[in-house]
Structure 1
Amino acid sequence: LTRSMGMSGPESLAAAANVFIGQTEAPLIVRPYLANMSRSEMMCLMTGGMATIAGGVFAAYVGFLGGDDPAQQLYFARHLLSASIMSAPAAIICAKILFPETEKQDLEKLTRTDTHVGDNLLDAIASGTTDGLRLAVNVGAMLIVFTSLVFMLNWILQHSVGQWTGLNAYIQTSTGGRFEGLTFTYLLGLVFAPLAWLLGTPWHDSMLVGQLLGMKTMINEFVGYGALGEIQKTVDLHPKSVIIALYALCGFSNFASIGIQIGGIGTLAPNQRKMLTELGYWSLIGGSIACFMTATIAGMLL
């Protein structure tokens, strides 16, 4: 990437790391360079994190989509890996279009820093185990909270507004039973259905794929993939719609990730916090566009 696209070494390394370890760990790989990164380089780092997924959640998504069928698990694993790899260069393109490089970086001014990881092997293992447990508990808690929030909003809308206005029966009839009534996911489907259709989704599946895109953007992709797995069990989705949804969901581009990146990268490079807050929404836009680009290409090839 440094020779072919004129990128700096740190942003090239971070772009590759985002594919495998995700938006929270990739900045650690280039930690010595974060403090002196230009706006364009920081945008590339953040957008790459938004457009890819981490290896730690890869198995969970395969389980959501493939169920207990080994053949289906292998099928979706290949597509998930392809989606994350394809989104990395797409994220670079989007980041450089939004914020072209206009500054010349002097790498000689950058210094390496030594990070204390433990006094010995056992201490390092214990520290790593504690950090991993903390991360797993955090992910699990976030998943439970946001999933519960979606169910709560669905229940409130369906059993209050939908029931009082009679919209539940109309929605059930107009969608052929695909939606039970006026719910939060139904509203997301309405808003994002045109986008799903533009990505190549057949129109009769656009509402369902649109709701997944909305859940991914407003909540997170974990909830989106879980919903896609459940939809596959109850609705006869077109295979093209499933693949487009899979590729479009394959990224951390949601509003919560803005806070995660500002908090994570800002801790490693406090002097860049102001820039991080300015680039947060732009990186969300760039990461989302990158995922949509790969989804469109995947749909064209099917």
Structure 2
Amino acid sequence: MELLYSIFRGLIGILFLIGIAFLFSNNKKNINWRLVLSGLGIQAILAILLIKGDVLGSFFSPLGWPKEFFRWISSLFVLVLNFTTEGALFVFGDLAKAPGSENSLGFFFAFQVLPTIIFFASLMSVLYYLGIMQRIVQGMAWVMAKLMGTSGAESLSCTANIFVGQTEAPLMIKPFLKGMTKSEVLTIMTGGMATIAGGVMAAYIQILSQSFADSMGMEINEARLMFATHLLGASVMAAPAALLLSKIIFPETKIPETKGNVKVKVEKNSSNVLEAAASGASDGLSLALNVGAMLVAFIALIALVNYMLEGLGSLVGLNEILVSQYGKPLNLQLVLGLVLQFVAVGIGVPWESAVQFGSLIGSKIVLNEFVAYFEMSNLIAAKELINDKAIVMATYALCGFANFSSIAIQIGGLSPLAPERKSDFAQLGLKAVLGGTLSTLMTATLAGILY
């Protein structure tokens, strides 16, 4: 009975999200519902195979193979984190040792999380130089284009976003950007908003696994494997979600130049593997420094806003009421949580975790997903977010770059590739944030149905 109720709530949640996309559609009559249904079908199959693979495998062993393969890929992420620790130990010494390790000095974000971005960026650069990632992306994009009927360029970009960031993925389709339809442009922007880059994914695994392992008394590598599996699953499922939702918001009315053609075109900027590794490390360092600076600024700004809100709450006598009901005075997280708790409940989040879940979604949209995952880690550590289903759903829901600052990032990253389309990138920015947010919420809804 509980399973049927969970499925019912989840289906209502999916209809709710599609309804929002439909409400903001610029051409409701031309929505391709076959594409929408095929996208939902792909997501559902992926979710069942990745989340319920063990159960399926007990009935027919080949059905469990995708889950085992995914678990193997996730274990590689854990290995990458361990390799990163080796490099960080050489530079930072005991500061790089995670809590629980021998001679660890505690948790230090700068020395234990940011190095993962540097190493992963270097590793991805090598894999692209060797042509490995291009083959993986092209194969996945071909399947998606055939099943959903999307163009080759938008399928490639959305698939590439599973592994790289929102400004790197469009490099694969640079020759086609100039002639893409506006519907395709929105799709590639939404794909960037709906997923995260591999380098920061490794950082999120590190952030969440440490607090979860400490809170649950679990081995750190076990927690890493759990979050690696969920975050990787979220990115894979978000690709078809981004395609279907963007095609509801802005349906295709023209014939794309790359319809039926899926071919990766990436220029090699390195002369050998060592140069590729060094170039990737430099890019990773730049990203790590930006992430560190952003967190310092945003968390300080949140503290400033919370100081003012708490003062206002004290002045008008609101804090006593809020503390008695929610355990905390007036602050930004509580305001966002109260506003968005109904969205959380609408997609199937347990009511007792709805305010915390809504707060995290709000932080992700207004600030960014790094701040949201950091807040989620703190909630887990403080045992304020203890419902397993809510933790899993939040992991999926936050797994995307959909926030207001990403509009500027995409305009800045895409405009040099196609200067004549700059006005289109700016015009479609808010729609891309909407599509990306709905995409991650849809993957969270499917995960909630099956968890």
TM-score with structure 1 setting the length? 0.91
Q: Contact 2:337/2:355 (CA < 8 Å) preserved in 1?
A: yes
Q: 2:420 aligns with which of 264, 271, 279?
A: 271
Describe how 1:155-166 pairs up with structure 2 within 5 A. 155-158=307-310, 160-166=311-317
1:184 aligns with 2:327: no
Q: Deviations over 1:208-261 (max 9, x none)?
A: 111001000100011111111110111252111111111111111110111111
Letter in 1 for 2:221: P
> For residues 432 and 179 of structure 2, what CA distance do their matches in structure 1 show?
19
1:102 aligns with 2:253: yes
Q: Deviations over 1:99-123 (max 9, x none)?
A: 1222223459xxx999583678776
**1:98–1:147 distance in 2 versus 1, CA, 3 Å:** same
1:38 aligns with 2:181: yes
> For residues 130 and 115 of structure 1, what CA distance do their matches in structure 2 show?
18
> For residues 257 and 153 of structure 1, what CA distance do their matches in structure 2 show?
22
> For residues 188 and 98 of structure 1, what CA distance do their matches in structure 2 show?
25
Q: Structure 1: give runs of 5+ residues left out of the alignment.
A: none
**1:164–1:19 distance in 2 versus 1, CA, 3 Å:** same
Q: Contact 1:221/1:249 (CA < 8 Å) preserved in 2?
A: yes
Q: Structure 2: give runs of 5+ residues left out of the alignment.
A: 1-143, 214-219
Aligned match of 2:391: 242
Q: How many residues align?
A: 295
> For residues 271 and 335 of structure 2, what CA distance do their matches in structure 1 show?
54
- Percent sequence identity over matched residues? 45
> For residues 133 and 114 of structure 1, what CA distance do their matches in structure 2 show?
23
Alpha-carbon offset, residue 126 of structure 1: 5.4
Q: Contact 1:199/1:244 (CA < 8 Å) preserved in 2?
A: no
Letter in 2 for 1:10: A
Q: Deviations over 1:38-66 (max 9, x none)?
A: 11111110111111111011111112211
Alpha-carbon offset, residue 3 of structure 1: 2.2
Q: SS where residue 23 of structure 1 aligns? A: coil
1:201 aligns with 2:349: yes
Q: SS where residue 223 of structure 1 aligns? A: helix
> For residues 123 and 270 of structure 1, what CA distance do their matches in structure 2 show?
29
1:152 aligns with 2:295: no
Q: SS where residue 164 of structure 2 aligns? A: helix
Aligned match of 1:81: 232
Alpha-carbon offset, residue 266 of structure 1: 0.9
**1:225–1:4 distance in 2 versus 1, CA, 3 Å:** same
Describe how 1:49-128 pairs up with structure 2 within 5 A. 49-67=192-210, 69-106=220-257, 117=269, 127-128=279-280
Letter in 1 for 2:290: N
TM-score with structure 2 setting the length? 0.62
Letter in 2 for 1:250: C
Aligned-CA RMSD value = 2.1
